[in-house]
Chains A and B, each alone.
Chain A
Amino acid sequence: MSVLVDEGTRLCVAGITGREGSFHTLNNRSYGTNVVGGVTPGKGGQDVEGIPVFDSWEQAMSEARPNTAMIFVPPRFAADSILEAAAAGVELVITITEGIPAHDELRVYNTLVREMKNAHPPTRLIGPNCPGILSPGKANVGIIPASFFNAGSVGVVSRSGTLTYQIGNEIAQAGVGCSSIVGIGGDPVPGSSFVDVLELFQADDETELVVLSGEIGGSAEEEAAEYIAEHMTKPVVAYIAGFTAPAGKQMGHAGAIVSGSAGTAAAKAEALEAKGVRVGRTPTETAGIAVEVLGGASLAAS
């Protein structure tokens, strides 16, 4: 097992004919992901190295039956593309696009969870502004460099891409692998939160431990702490970036900003530690704790 993407993934990519879109789609395909199509309005009938291109999500759905969408279109078209994929019945929409206006994200989120909540199937959105999802050995959807990860039992959920690679690579060097690596993105209104992904890892047989990598801004880490205390039986190890970030300055990600006294790294680490979650002070220490806890967990299980 793993979460969200695996051998059953049937991927269709919005923006497949763009430079970045085609590059990463082909990368994902060479990793072994089943790519069944792409969507670019006006380019239906063409193909990208054998992958059929459709004019619309509706057409892609009727001809290629995708269950997963990857959105690679420019920010101004992204919201509509996500909602079209959802309306066509795609269950999982992974949005890589960075720079989508916050009001668009709010509209997309509220449309998906409220207006379309009774849709069959309901659509889960991952991202925007995320590196995607990798289930090592099974499927890769997005831009995560798969070569740094081995298959194994650690689930990783993160707001940041490169930081995930840093932590994942250190875990891999310790000889431990990952079940799935899920990037939820660094924007103010992500489609899925830490809590949503923790729930999936808790239910996943293969995952024995979860590494949560958070950063300043918002209150998603605090909410995750509450959820872990109440619902998780699997150990969770956390890392928070941004202890030295000054208030009022946006640190790269649109969502990474300390406003007033809210959203600081210290407050997040405290909230997690108060619920018994061990928080590493550096990525290296975090990976070390994960390996240590996992060693204990495996011993206990055997």
Chain B
Amino acid sequence: MDLLEYQGKQLFARHGLRVSDGRAVTSVEDAVSAADEIGYPVVVKAQVLIGGRGKAGGVKLAADEAEAREHAGNILGMDIKGHVVRTLWIEHASDIASEYYASVLLDRSAKQPLVMFSVEGGVDIEEVAEKTPEKLIRHHVDALAGLSREEAVDIAKQGGADADVIDGVADALVALYEVWLQEDATLAEINPLIVTPEREVKALDAKVSLDGNALYRHPENQELSDSENEDPIERRAKEEGVQYVKLDGDIGILGNGAGLVMSTLDVVAQAGGSPANFLDAGGGSDAEKIKQAVDLLLANEAVKAVLFNIFGGITRCDEVAKGLIAAFEDIKPSVPFVVRLDGTNDVEGRRLLQEAALPNVHAAKTMNEAAEMVVALAAGQSVGAAA
């Protein structure tokens, strides 16, 4: 679960990292009164979960009330790469002497936490890693012992932080590690971590991803998802406990098991089609859950044809068939379906579908055949006999 900048900064502050005084607002009037309260100059920052908002004009400096009003008015509602700005973060503008970079993440390959630090902050860190890797310090931490202050001081020195802020940077690294550890984050990143002319070390930005599986330990963080900006179908899926990801195409996909669904998307793409979604109905889905999933699939109006690809293990194909039949009774879909059922109780499932003789539902024997059929149907072509 990715957090907006201001939500990340609130977590930072909770663990003793220095951040500027600021307010999250959703209207121009509130933006202006927040700016008045904080004191000018202020920075007006779009809160979206996408990089490059500065270049898109989503971050502006305001020297007075008129400018704050103008920028807030321009940025609210702005579309940044498909993300509509609904929230602004207004914070007191900082004077900057240096821009550093710091992050803590889970290194899956080493199976250890990784702390990274660089004095080349404020730019794309992947570029630093590629062009001047010696300027990016990478330090693996013992997951059982945690990051010691001595290690943090060493990292700051190795990275070439100014001598008079070694302590400040080490404090920031230790605090950032605490954010990562105690909030169950998979990523906690500050870019830039600034040094002010007064030699204060502060987080000017925040990028935090929390582990959704650990939210039960953090009831206070459960509200933090960017639900307003979430796709409405994805939000509904989450509420219903279904794994759904919206994509750009026109072929609705439903399968059981994440790997099989991913594979189905690929096979459909190879057949020349374009998937409209990823939907994993999960293991052991009963008829009711399948019906709900069909409803969810069809909520995306771009869908022109639907592919059911089921290989039943725990999932029983007869339950899938019953769910599809129930969905047709209730929802009466107007788009064609291709259904491939294999695995547990597949014979019974196929028999149920054949008896129901649902309009515009086509049976496929294999995954590849199913993909080819659904691509043809989505393109408005006809395919063989109905199931």
Contact with A along B238-263 (1 / 0, CB 8 A): 00000101010000000111111111
Identify the stretch in A35-43, A52-60, A96-104 within 8 Å (CB) of chain B at 4 or more residues: A96-104
CB under 8 Å from chain A, chain B span 169-219: 181, 184, 186, 211-214, 216-217
In the assembled complex, A216 has its CB within 8 A of some CB on chain B? yes
| A103/B184 in contact, CB under 8 A | yes
**Which residue of the partner chain, among B260, B266, B311, contacts A244 with CB atoms under 8 Å?**
B266
**Which residue of the partner chain, among A110, A143, A244, A265, contacts B314 with CB atoms under 8 Å?**
A143
Identify the stretch in B19-27, B220-228, B275-283, B286-294 within 8 Å (CB) of chain A at 4 or more residues: B275-283
| B262/A241 in contact, CB under 8 A | yes
| B259/A186 in contact, CB under 8 A | yes
Question: Cβ of A145: which chain B residues have Cβ within 8 Å of it?
Answer: 312-314, 343-344
- B contact residues, total (Cβ < 8 Å): 51
Q: A219-B108, A283-B367, A284-B367 are in contact. Are A160 and B260 (CB under 8 A)?
A: yes
A188 to B262, CA, bound (A): 17
| B262/A245 in contact, CB under 8 A | yes
In the assembled complex, B319 has its CB within 8 A of some CB on chain A? no
Question: Cβ of A186: which chain B residues have Cβ within 8 Å of it?
Answer: 258-259
A162 to B284, CA, bound (A): 12
Closest chain-B Cβ to A211's Cβ sits at a distance in Å of: 13
Question: Cβ of A260: which chain B residues have Cβ within 8 Å of it?
Answer: 126
Question: Cβ of B258: which chain A residues have Cβ within 8 Å of it?
Answer: 160, 186, 215, 251-253, 256
| B259/A159 in contact, CB under 8 A | yes
In the assembled complex, A189 has its CB within 8 A of some CB on chain B? yes
| A101/B245 in contact, CB under 8 A | no
| B245/A241 in contact, CB under 8 A | no
Q: A102-B106, A282-B266 are in contact. Are A160 and B257 (CB under 8 A)?
A: yes
| B144/A246 in contact, CB under 8 A | no
Q: A106-B143, A243-B266 are in contact. Are A249 and B113 (CB under 8 A)?
A: no
Q: A165-B311, A245-B265 are in contact. Are A223 and B367 (CB under 8 A)?
A: no
A223 to B314, CA, bound (A): 31
CB under 8 Å from chain A, chain B span 297-340: 311-314
In the assembled complex, A255 has its CB within 8 A of some CB on chain B? yes
A121 to B283, CA, bound (A): 34
Q: A160-B257, A161-B283, A163-B263 are in contact. Are A189 and B111 (CB under 8 A)?
A: yes
In the assembled complex, B270 has its CB within 8 A of some CB on chain A? yes
Q: A110-B144, A188-B106 are in contact. Are A75 and B213 (CB under 8 A)?
A: yes
A234 to B30, CA, bound (A): 67
A246 to B246, CA, bound (A): 10
In the assembled complex, A89 has its CB within 8 A of some CB on chain B? no
Question: Cβ of B217: which chain A residues have Cβ within 8 Å of it?
Answer: 101
**Which residue of the partner chain, among B111, B112, B262, B342, contacts A256 with CB atoms under 8 Å?**
B262
| B247/A246 in contact, CB under 8 A | yes
Q: A76-B216, A251-B278, A283-B367 are in contact. Are A165 and B262 (CB under 8 A)?
A: no
A158 to B112, CA, bound (A): 23
| A284/B144 in contact, CB under 8 A | no
Q: Most chain-B CB neighbours within 10 Å: which of A145, A186, A256, A283?
A: A283
Closest chain-A Cβ to B261's Cβ sits at a distance in Å of: 6
In the assembled complex, B368 has its CB within 8 A of some CB on chain A? yes
A164 to B256, CA, bound (A): 12
Question: Cβ of A220: which chain B residues have Cβ within 8 Å of it?
Answer: 108-109
Contact with B along A121-145 (1 / 0, CB 8 A): 0000000000100000000000111
Contact with A along B95-133 (1 / 0, CB 8 A): 000000000001011011100000000000010000000
Q: Lowest 3 CB-CB distances: which A-B pairs, in order?
A: A160-B259, A252-B258, A162-B257
| New A-B contacts (18) at CB < 8 Å, excluding given A75-B213, A160-B262, A218-B108 | A103-B211, A110-B142, A158-B259, A160-B258, A161-B313, A162-B255, A162-B283, A165-B343, A169-B343, A186-B259, A218-B109, A220-B109, A245-B278, A251-B262, A256-B258, A265-B266, A281-B266, A282-B367
14 contacts between A and B (CB under 8 A): A100-B213, A102-B211, A102-B214, A106-B113, A109-B111, A158-B259, A161-B257, A162-B283, A189-B106, A189-B108, A241-B262, A265-B266, A284-B367, A284-B368
